Chain A
Amino acid sequence: MEFKTIGIIGAGTMGIGIAADLLFHRMNCILVDITTAALERAKAEIIRIIRFAPLANPSLPKLNVEEAISKITFTTNIEDVYNAEFIIENVPEKWEMKEAVYRELTKVCKPEVNFAVNTSCISVTKVASITDRPDKVIGIHFMNPSYLKNCVEAIKGYHTSEACINNAKALLDQMKKEVILVNDLPGFVTNRISHLFMNEAAFVVQDDVATPAQVDEIFTKCYGHKMGPLETADLIGLDTVVNSLDILYESYQDPKFRCCPLLRKMVDANLLGRKTGKGFYNY
């Protein structure tokens, strides 16, 4: 099956990157968010990505901006995804928001349509349980920014069928992405491990053991990682990191996931990282 039209729920950082990625791979999308302002911001950002991302990733095609952007339907009405062949949901990591969206998607989408939960921590099995099609729900943890990454972590929920996995793999193959399929427990592989790194790195800064730059340099120069944990936290957004840590803590009831007070304080001060221009670094 070749996918032509994909529904994207949520026009935040991830939704924007994935929408642009779909355009680069010749697919149409219906991008849904709750406010016109969010959609306008998304449109401007997608245009910027279409124009400039081929420099950062030379394998991406140089698209005609007007033609490409015309392949996206920007809408605040979730019912507009009724024609989508596959749904990728990217709303914030808040259960109440996910729940409300999936109740709507269940009503709106054709019965054969698969839902991909783009989550870093929330249980795919729990999301599936509130839909009418638990066998057609899979987790796809896209990396940020999607158009520069060629691999995703996919998560098999308790009821996820082989057919659903194959559909997701077909879509991701069209997007030229490799899939690493894992089982469903909160945080999966990526965030269960990476959030411990980011959280402990914040404790190291809080305890005045090292500066953010020193912490990151140890990871980049000594360990050969592409980015250090605090640069990564700034890129993800510290509010998202704190939300994910809270979900991990609540899910496992394990103190190793307790959120560093410095991270929470920075979120309260709106020092969220790249998206607000200041986090552990200035942007």
Chain B
Amino acid sequence: MEHNSIAEKINKYVLDSVNIDRIDFDMDIFEEGLVSSLFAIELMTFLEKNFEIKITTNDLDMNNYKCINSITEFVCKKKAGDLG
């Protein structure tokens, strides 16, 4: 799956979850109060199911999940095996 289609899929999931129409891919969704910390758990479940990756304890870093771009980058690295 290409970078752009991964980003789009993540974007759609976040938008559906927060019931808004569009979002800046660099916006910190947690800092901006768009989602609660509980959403982080739902998000990781979504990423594992939809991108066939396995999130490990080493991946539990909020920097991986703060915005659409960082989530996309994280998923791409996991799929490429760069993060184990």
Contact = CB atoms under 8 A, between A and B. Distances in A.
Q: Answer whether A and B are interacting partners.
A: yes
A148 B62 contact: no
A150 interface: no
B40 interface: yes
Interface string A146-180: 00100000000000000000000000000000000
Interface residues of A, number: 20
B17 A57 contact: no
B44 interface: yes
Interface string A65-99: 00000000000000000000000000000000000
Interface of A: 48-49, 51-57, 62, 145, 148, 213, 220, 226-227, 235, 281-283
B83 interface: no
Interface residues of B, number: 18
B8 interface: no
A148 to B, nearest CB: 6
A52 B41 contact: yes
B60 A55 contact: yes
B55 A51 contact: yes
Of A48, A52, A281, A283, most buried by chain B (CB within 10 Å of CB) is A52
13 contacts: A51-B55, A52-B41, A52-B45, A54-B57, A54-B60, A55-B44, A55-B61, A55-B62, A57-B37, A62-B57, A145-B38, A148-B37, A282-B16
Interface in B39-84: 40-42, 44-45, 55, 57, 60-62, 65
A189 to B, nearest CB: 23
A248 to B, nearest CB: 26
Contacts of A52: 40-41, 44-45, 55, 60
Contacts of A49: 41
Contacts of B4: none
A52 B47 CA distance: 12
A51 B42 CA distance: 12
Given A213-B19, A227-B36, A48 B45 contact: yes
